[in-house]
Amino acid sequence: MTDTREDSLRRGLDNRRRVLGDEWVEQSIARANALNVEFQRMITRYAWDGIWSRPGLDRRTRRIMVLAITAAMGRWEEFELHLRTGLLADPDDPEAAPLDVDTIKEVLLQTAVYAGVPAGNTGIAIALKVLKELGRTPPPAAFGEQAKL
């Protein structure tokens, strides 16, 4: 059986839809033009099939890595995309790479240590903005003497 570029494109689109959602992918496809269409095809085959189809890591781990790397590099638009789609992903579908607030908190604490406090701080600000937009603002927590330090 011969694997073609079209097979890779189809698998990549399937992965992309599962992780980012149909709406996001349809918007990306609708914005295709003579300048960006080859780039869209390339990242769909190379990243979304070539990497996201690999068996070595599950999709949730891959999404967590994307959050840490994009935060470390200051690629906030991609960070926010994966944060939002991870929060919106079906928590019962591991292939959709769902995220929860506790995981996001741990990713950003780890990122702050290894990539710098400003990266963690900006990541938290973006996470709070997205959570608020989704109606999932975290509850207040005690800080100081009454907190569990």
What would the DSSP string read from start to end of 52-98? TT-SSS-HHHHHHHHHHHHHHHT-HHHHHHHHHHHHHS-TT-GGG--
pLDDT of residue 147: 65
Q: What is the mean pLDDT of the chain?
A: 95
The CATH fold assigned to 58-138 is AhpD-like (1.20.1290)
pLDDT over 80 (residue 68): yes
Residue type present at position 37: V
Average pLDDT rounded to a whole number, residues 34-57 = 96
pTM: 0.89
- Residue 127 CB contacts under 8 Å (≥ 6 apart), including other chains: 83, 104, 108
pLDDT of residue 143: 86
pLDDT of residue 3: 74
List the one residue out of 34, 13, 8, 38 whose CA is nearest residue 24. 13
pLDDT of residue 144: 81
Q: How confident is the model at residue 2 (pLDDT cuts 50, 70, 90)?
A: low
* 92-133 pLDDT per residue, tens: 999 999 999 999 999 999 999 999 999 999 999 999 999 999
Kindly list the domain boundaries of the chain, sorted by start residue: 1-54, 58-138
